[in-house]
Structure 1
């Protein structure tokens, strides 16, 4: 395949000088994906192992549910606040160096969690975990997509985003087992060691030079920077109403999924009488369903939207409705098989709209700012979902009880559905706005 002669952006964010010799490897892109995906697993293992040790911390330090929730939400809050600025910084400083620094920081902070002696120290360590993890998702996917052809970007994006749930499964399940057989401190230490080993491998095998050598050819219409060097203004990330509704809908639809990730271990412990390790194992199945649903729903969405892209909005709405009905019903039932089945179905669809909303954001933003657009979506996901969900349910649990708090959490899907329907209605206008931005006359 021939290489484009127009300048394209390399992984560091600077224009390439001209045609490059064809030195691409068939295996190297998959090595990049495997290592980057592995670090994503480490990211979420370090983040979610906390859920598995909630019962130990609650007992040992006499913590309230709202305090436990704050230990979870502080990570997502920092991710939400820092993702965009750190993503922009990584584009200029170097993505590989940025990813290495992030992974070292969150692994070291997880090690600090293992030696924390009180709530305040744990909160400070979790704050640092959030700083380290802040931009990993957006920068990591940018690195992966840079070495793969555009025709597989949607599948890779769905798989990469689902990696967070798979990492959560491992963190919750493994953390619960280690906590019961060794101690909760060893749960954190194990996650930290895993992260440090992976980052050493990543630093050895992935470099900016090799990424540039293996950069995938893109169709001329999809080059990051057109021949005249035009780059869309950062303000364009926030001036397209359809994109704004995709951000909002994407963030709100993950609210309840985040609640399931954080609180199902405690729910199984309290209402099913399971020991912490067994509760963590049971919750890991729920988390696995969340991740699997993101992948499968993404594939379904691509098929439905093959001839009419606005059907992706419709698919996102349908996934939200299914999750709303199933989870709303499930947490009003008594503990038992029927409840577990409905929780499982609801969990499968709970974050199913993540792929469709990401596709809409990518479809409606200029290629030159697309990485920043994905960073903005990550901000919305964290501030409206991953940070807000567990914290709100923790506060409600202190006042109403955990079961009652979980009964209310699916109602947030109603707001998500409204935002997604508004985005679908505004989609044609959003495309016209993007076309006007991309047309030379408009510049």
Structure 2
């Protein structure tokens, strides 16, 4: 029988920060640092869209494919690579993945055709495929459960901040030295971080942390059959709804992040470099929103186990309404303000949904569980967002395409609402299985 992990108890929630060793925070910082590099390498492309479009005379569909191919590779490979990482070792897997995406980004810098760039971007996706799931699983394994929504949101917000840095720095470098140097700069950052991570973080030191964090026991070395693994990953209706809702709601940030520099370039008359910098501001707002929404979710959860679901639903509805209004307004200050407000909430459900998945799956398969969440995030949201927006933009214009994007969080809200209805019952089932397993 699989041992499930339920909601944190009151005693756990009352623990203080003093129960967390300093080395845990160092590992967290370095792991988030690599996530920054991950998204810098992924999103620098958006900053140089106008340059590449002009240099190679590409359609919006082809531009979108250069962005979507990364998320597609992540979606296809995240699960098998994360399962392997659970067995082979998370630290070794992280170092190998980061080295691969950094070298592939360097390959983007020397690409001479659209086909070569597409291949290099696919290799970036292969390197990044399992990092999100393995990285967050590693972080959660050395921190108490009471911080799960906050840590998940903060970790995922690293993607937003990395995107900001990639877009802003990439745009600035492209203006000064050319777009190829933008990719080269991101590659250098990644390689430097890989070296530091390899020297500081080891499996042996992490193993010493796990038994002392809030009395948790580590089961990371446990091997289980494929059938048992699937049972652990899809044990309840609520965890499936968390996967689906999380994936659908992330279509919004993926689409807006990809096309905001182009939107500002085409409809506000900004030069490509300036558009990239201003577009990065909206990505930064998204990251700040993820952290704030995740922390609020953890705070409200102390008074009710279903509050995480309710907050996720509210975040999705706010995003849909605000962006739906914004993209129907004419260019101007009010439109940009409402877009910013919508982007604050557009990834707000990331923390709650990650905490739900962690609460409803065993710690020994958390990398696989977050791989499943990453799979849903990419196949339902991140992968199709840029290319679908580009396809629609080629037909009805970029504004028309962006007006359709806010429909996605409405579907996500429905999925979260269904999960909320069965969450309490599922937690009771989980607790019953835990008690039975300990007898």
**Counterpart among 254, 259, 268 of residue 258 in structure 1:** 254
The answer to whether residue 113 in structure 2 is matched with residue 132 in structure 1 is no
Contact 1:55–1:266, Cα closer than 8 Å, also in 2: yes
The answer to whether residue 182 in structure 2 is matched with residue 187 in structure 1 is yes
Question: What displacement does 1:25 show?
Answer: 9.4
- CA-to-partner distance for each residue in 1:65-106, whole Å, 9 max, x for gaps? 111111111111111111111111111111111111101100
The answer to whether residue 391 in structure 2 is matched with residue 405 in structure 1 is no
- CA-to-partner distance for each residue in 1:134-184, whole Å, 9 max, x for gaps? 111111122223333334343222211110000000000000011111100
Question: What displacement does 1:211 show?
Answer: 1.8
Q: Which has the higher contact order (CA 8 A, sep 6+)?
A: 2
Aligned residue for 1:233, secondary structure, equals: helix
**Counterpart among 38, 55, 63 of residue 33 in structure 2:** 38
Contact 2:100–2:127, Cα closer than 8 Å, also in 1: yes
Further displaced range: 85-94 or 145-154:
145-154
Question: Which residue of 2 is the match for residue 12 of structure 1?
Answer: none
Question: What displacement does 1:218 show?
Answer: 4.2
Question: Which residue of 2 is the match for residue 16 of structure 1?
Answer: none
The answer to whether residue 93 in structure 2 is matched with residue 60 in structure 1 is no
The TM-score normalised by the length of structure 2 is 0.91
- CA-to-partner distance for each residue in 1:212-251, whole Å, 9 max, x for gaps? 233352455x53449x999992122124111111110010
* Residues 410, 150 of structure 1: alpha-carbon distance in 2 compared, 3 angstrom cutoff: same
Further displaced range: 141-150 or 432-441:
432-441
Aligned residue for 1:138, secondary structure, equals: helix
Question: Which residue of 1 is the match for residue 238 of structure 2?
Answer: 242
**Separation in 2, partners of 1:106, 1:235:** 29
For structure 2, the 5+ residue unaligned runs are 4-18
**Separation in 1, partners of 2:274, 2:280:** 10
The TM-score normalised by the length of structure 1 is 0.90
**Counterpart among 104, 114, 117 of residue 112 in structure 2:** 117
**Separation in 1, partners of 2:259, 2:59:** 13
The answer to whether residue 279 in structure 2 is matched with residue 279 in structure 1 is no
- CA-to-partner distance for each residue in 1:256-315, whole Å, 9 max, x for gaps? 111111110110011001011110111011000111100001111112221211011111
Question: Which residue of 2 is the match for residue 333 of structure 1?
Answer: 329
**Separation in 2, partners of 1:117, 1:202:** 32
Contact 1:436–1:442, Cα closer than 8 Å, also in 2: no
* Residues 168, 251 of structure 1: alpha-carbon distance in 2 compared, 3 angstrom cutoff: same
Divergent runs of 4+, >4 A: 228-232
Question: Which residue of 1 is the match for residue 6 of structure 2?
Answer: none
**Counterpart among 346, 357, 362 of residue 361 in structure 1:** 357
Question: What displacement does 1:26 show?
Answer: 3.8
Let me know the Cα RMSD of the aligned residues. Answer: 2.2
Question: What displacement does 1:27 show?
Answer: 3.1
Further displaced range: 211-220 or 329-338:
211-220
Question: What displacement does 1:371 show?
Answer: 2.9
Question: Which residue of 1 is the match for residue 385 of structure 2?
Answer: 389
The answer to whether residue 203 in structure 2 is matched with residue 208 in structure 1 is yes
**Separation in 1, partners of 2:237, 2:341:** 32
**Separation in 2, partners of 1:205, 1:366:** 27
* Residues 385, 425 of structure 1: alpha-carbon distance in 2 compared, 3 angstrom cutoff: same
**Separation in 2, partners of 1:295, 1:340:** 22
**Separation in 2, partners of 1:176, 1:347:** 21
**Separation in 2, partners of 1:120, 1:442:** 56
* Residues 182, 193 of structure 1: alpha-carbon distance in 2 compared, 3 angstrom cutoff: same
Contact 1:149–1:216, Cα closer than 8 Å, also in 2: no
Question: What displacement does 1:413 show?
Answer: 1.6
Question: What displacement does 1:365 show?
Answer: 2.2
Contact 1:76–1:387, Cα closer than 8 Å, also in 2: yes
